[in-house]
Amino acid sequence: MKKLTLLAGMAALLLCGTSFGHSGLEFDLPQIPNNVISLDGNEGDWAGLDDSFKFDRSRLEVEGGSPFPPAEDLDVTWWFAYSLPPENLLYFFARIQDDILILDEVDASRHWTDDSLQFATDMDHGGGGIVGNDLDEVANGQRYHMRTHPIPGEPSAWNDQQQRVDIPELAWISDCAPTGGNCQQTDVFHIAWTVEPAGAGHNSTDVTITWEFNLKTWDIQALTQDDSIEHIWEEFEIVHLAMRIFDADTIDNLTWRIHPIGATGPDAVVNGEVMTDWFTLDAADTGFTPTTAVQKSSWGQIKNHLDAVQ
Ligand SMILES: [Ca+2]
Ligand SMILES: [Ca+2]
Ligand SMILES: [Ca+2]
Ligand SMILES: [Ca+2]
C-alpha cells in the first residue's frame, strides 16, 4: 500500500504540476472512518491519530518566517483529517493557549481582527483566485474568518467572500445562515469550540481555546447549495487547504499570524496557486485507531474501497 501511495502521489503531481504554479509544500491528510468524531471541543476521540499529522510550534512559524512566539504568549496544535463518503467531510481540530483573549469586534466581517482562524480551500486543486472578487472566484474556493463567541445573529465561520461580492446568501456555506436577527444552523458546517476557564471573555488572561469542526466542501460553490458541486473525497488525491491562526493581544493590531513553516502567508488564503497541497492518505497509511464505536456500515464501505485499490 505504501508503494501504491507513492506512485499515486507521483502520478498526481505529474498530472497537476505542469498546469500551474505550486507552493512546493505538500502535507499528508489523514483519513478517519465515518462517525468516530464527536464535535464537542474535546480531543479524546482523536487519541488514535498519530502525532506526525499534527502541527505544533515545531512545524509552525510567524508570517514572514520568524520563529514561533514564546509558549507563555501563544501555543498552538492543530490538524486536518478527512472522511470518505458517505460521510464525506473535512475535519479540523485546534488547541490554542493564549495569554490574552481579544473578542472586541462587533462586525462579523472583521472577525479576523480578534483571536481567530483564517481558513480557505480550493478543493479541485485548480488554482486561481478564491478571495471572492467576482463569482468565478466564489465558485473556485471557500474562504472563512472564524471566531469563538460569534457576534449575535452571525456565524462562527464567516464566509468572507459574501461581503466582497455583496451577496449575503453565500452564508449558506457557513455554520449558520443569518435570517432576521437569528442564525440558522446549516447542514454543511458544524462547529464546537470551548474556552477555559469557564466564563472567559474579552480581555481574559491565560485561556485555552479548542476548535473542532467538520464541513462539506465544494468543487464548485454556487449561490445555493443545490446549484453547487460537492467535493467527493477520494484516497490519493491532492487538494488545496490553508489554515492561519491569528493571535490578537491588543484591540489595535494582530500580534501574531501563524502558518506552517514555509507556507505562503496572506496569499495562501487568497490565491489557490500558492496554497499548500494536501495528499489524502488511505486508512492503512493513516493508521488511525478509533476510540469510539464505528458503525458497521462505515467499516464495510471502507473495507470495500480498500479491497478495490489493492
Ligand atoms: Ca471531540
Ligand atoms: Ca497571545
Ligand atoms: Ca477550485
Ligand atoms: Ca490573544
Q: Which bound ligand lies closest to the C-alpha atom of 220?
A: 3
CA of 209 from ligand 4 middle (Å) equals: 10
**Higher pLDDT pick, 289 / 241:** 241
The pLDDT of residue 291 is 85
The pLDDT of residue 146 is 97
CA of 101 from ligand 4 middle (Å) equals: 4
Mean pLDDT, residues 131-143 taken together? 95
The strand pairing partners of 210, in sequence order, are 95, 194
**Higher pLDDT pick, 307 / 122:** 122
The strand pairing partners of 61, in sequence order, are 259
The pLDDT of residue 180 is 85
Write down the mean pLDDT value for the chain: 89
d(CA 4, CA 276): 22
Residues lining ion ligand 4 (Cβ < 5 A) are 98, 100, 115, 247, 249
Percent share of the chain, pLDDT over 90: 80
Mean pLDDT, residues 177-189 taken together? 92
Residues lining ion ligand 3 (Cβ < 5 A) are 122, 124, 126, 140
pLDDT in tens, 218-255: 999 999 999 999 999 999 999 999 999 999 999 988 99
Residues lining ion ligand 2 (Cβ < 5 A) are 73-74, 98-99, 247, 249
Range of the domain at 99: 2-309
Q: Residue-wise over 284-306: b if at least 16 C-beta within 10 A, else e?
A: ebbebebeeeeeeebeebbeebe
Q: How would residue 265 be classed by pLDDT, with cut points 50, 70 and 90?
A: confident
d(CA 52, CA 285): 12
Percent share of the chain, pLDDT over 70: 87
Q: Which bound ligand lies closest to the C-alpha atom of 209?
A: 4
Q: How would residue 293 be classed by pLDDT, with cut points 50, 70 and 90?
A: low
Q: Which bound ligand lies closest to the C-alpha atom of 219?
A: 3
Q: Which bound ligand lies closest to the C-alpha atom of 102?
A: 4
Answer whether the bond into residue 290 is a cis peptide, omega within 30°.
Answer: no
| pLDDT surpasses 70 at 111 | yes
| Identity of residue 142 | Q
Query: What CATH number should be reported for the domain holding residue 76?
Result: 2.60.40.1190
Q: Which of 301, 218, 279, 295 is nearest to 81 (CA)?
A: 279
d(CA 176, CA 5): 37
The tally of domains found in the chain comes to 1
Q: Which of 13, 113, 15, 32 is nearest to 298 (CA)?
A: 32
pTM for this one? 0.88
| Identity of residue 152 | P
The pLDDT of residue 250 is 97
The pLDDT of residue 4 is 40
Q: Which bound ligand lies closest to the C-alpha atom of 123?
A: 3
- Residue 265 is classified by DSSP as S
- Other beta carbons less than 10 A from residue 59's beta carbon: 15
The pLDDT of residue 22 is 65
The pLDDT of residue 305 is 38
pLDDT in tens, 38-79: 999 999 999 999 999 999 999 999 999 999 999 999 999 999
Cβ-based burial of 63 (10 A; exposed 0-12, middle 13-18, buried ≥19): middle
The pLDDT of residue 9 is 43
Task: Report whether 215 contacts 90 (CB < 8 A).
Answer: yes
Q: Which bound ligand lies closest to the C-alpha atom of 241?
A: 3
Q: How would residue 213 be classed by pLDDT, with cut points 50, 70 and 90?
A: very high
